[in-house]
Chains A and B, each alone.
Chain A
Amino acid sequence: MNETNWHRKDLLGIAELSAAEIELILDTAESFREVAERPIKKVPTLRGKTVINLFFEASTRTRSSFEIAEKRLSADGLNFSSSSSALVKGESLVDTARNLQAMSPDLIVIRHGHPGVPHRLARLLEAGVINAGDGAHEHPTQALLDAFTIRQHKGQIGGLRVAIIGDIEHSRVVRSNIHLLQKLGASVVVAGPRTMMPVGIEGLGVDVAYSLDEALDGADVVMMLRIQLERQGRPLIPSIKEYFSLFGLTRDRLGLANEDAIVMHPGPMNRGVEIASDVADGPESVILAQVANGVAVRMAILYLLSGVRGAA
């Protein structure tokens, strides 16, 4: 009847987690993975708990993954998205928080385009808050499912070399992954065009490469990021064609990575932009495993957080 050492009301980012906390989530997810293999893929664990999925930014896969996780745990999930809800329009954060609190949810899953919004809401709410992505800041559940997938295929994370390639500046997946992988003892190299590399990224302890070949050299894990040509009307690269020729992952170039390297992508993929189709569908690709593992990891997080009382 061992108790877990999980005492956080919220899961806001990886930056503040210890290696032990990360491992607890991954180990717990391991147990939840089996639920998906049962004839009845549902356990009564969170019966009577209310989870609000509050998505201020469009997301199909993360939201669906959370929804499935909630259903499999028998929680009651409610969806609010910015398109369907007047709740969030022109409303201050405090008012949003008060409105949510009035519905007495146990947990709130929040995706927002602006960094720090889940953090500010978490301080205002009794309910536990799960950050499902805040701007370019953090996306902790993605990093956890990535780590889970790496562990599944590589046995462990410590000692691995992970290359993350793409628009580093605008990616929340990168930041969460950098924190997580380093905490568990992996070394990380980030690569991308100089116009997509944020100032001071070395300060996070990663190696920086400006060519794909350099980044792939010795990599055990190759994580490709989704590329957008421009951000807020600011062009970052001249063309897709040019990006693919510089940083697109092709079968030939994958040969530069370690022999048993795996290829990951947080999705949604742009085939022919950051990754060639034969790589995306190739034997090295664990992209669909990432999606499957996302549910188990999110079940683990919902389970762990639901055991911590808010504001107490």
Chain B
Amino acid sequence: MTADSGTLERVLDGEQMHRIVRRMAGELIEQNQGATDLVLIGIRTRGVPLAMALGEEIRRMEGGSEVPQGVLDITLYRDDLSTIAPQPVVKETHLPGSIEGRTVVLCDDVLFTGRTIRAALDALIDYGRARAVRLAVLVDRGHRELPIQADVVGHSLATTASDLVEVAFSDTDGRDEVVLHRNAR
């Protein structure tokens, strides 16, 4: 996600992000009463590094065992396919085995209209019946268009609809930060 115009404002730096991710990991462990049966699923694209970061923190806090992680591509479930052209690129989805009876944590960088999460929920259901599905987002910027709320929020940010929130992770972007582009759309 790149912005072409508008003013730029750094919302979180790397240090702040790390701290927030640690807190989010803690909240997830607390809500789940541990990491047992937890599956972290990152929504492409920037939900993936968030899931990885959360997984790493949870492993550290809970002592050793890997938290299963997956990657979800929601393209095939989007509700705007008939209005956009050409088609968006479809990428692969891979889940770490069955989600049957487990607690799935959907991870995404920014929660905005809620449509991505709706698509992700639909996709997830096609893979089996999870015991529960939770939502963890790094930034909640408001302006929901569907009745969806996150269970764990890293940072709440007041924005206008025309703003653009850009989340960068060192794994994918070479740096950790959250930037707000004012009037970018």
* A39 engages B127 (CB within 8 Å): yes
Residue B185 lies at the interface, judged by CB distance under 8 Å to chain A: no
**Closest 9 A-B residue pairs measured CB to CB?**
A307-B87, A43-B76, A40-B126, A31-B90, A45-B76, A31-B92, A307-B86, A2-B89, A307-B85
* A3 engages B88 (CB within 8 Å): yes
Contact with A along B70-97 (1 / 0, CB 8 A): 0001011100011011111111111000
Residue A86 lies at the interface, judged by CB distance under 8 Å to chain B: no
* B77 engages A43 (CB within 8 Å): yes
Q: How many residues of B contact A (CB 8 A)?
A: 23
* B126 engages A304 (CB within 8 Å): no
Residue B34 lies at the interface, judged by CB distance under 8 Å to chain A: no
Chain A residues near B126 (CB-CB < 8 A): 38-40, 42-43
The contact of B82 among A28, A32, A48, A303, by CB within 8 Å, is: A48
CA distance A43 to B87 in the complex (A): 15
Residue B101 lies at the interface, judged by CB distance under 8 Å to chain A: no
- Which residues, 1 to 27 on A, are CB-close (under 8 Å) to B? 1-7, 27
Residue B6 lies at the interface, judged by CB distance under 8 Å to chain A: no
CA distance A89 to B126 in the complex (A): 43
Interfacial residues, chain A to chain B (CB-CB below 8 A): 1-7, 27-28, 30-32, 34-35, 38-40, 42-45, 48, 73, 300, 303-304, 306-309
Known contacts A1-B88, A3-B84, A45-B81; can you find 9 more A-B pairs with CB under 8 A?
A5-B86, A28-B89, A30-B92, A31-B92, A34-B93, A43-B77, A44-B76, A45-B76, A308-B86
Chain B residues near A48 (CB-CB < 8 A): 82
* B89 engages A3 (CB within 8 Å): yes
Chain A residues near B14 (CB-CB < 8 A): none
Please report whether the interface of chain A is mostly helix, strand, loop or mixed according to DSSP: loop
CA distance A32 to B92 in the complex (A): 7
Query: Taking A39-B126, A42-B126 as contacts, is the C-beta distance between A7 and B94 under 8 angstroms?
Result: no
* A309 engages B76 (CB within 8 Å): no
CA distance A6 to B85 in the complex (A): 9
* A3 engages B76 (CB within 8 Å): no
CA distance A199 to B77 in the complex (A): 49
Query: Taking A31-B73, A43-B77, A45-B76 as contacts, is the C-beta distance between A4 and B89 under 8 angstroms?
Result: yes
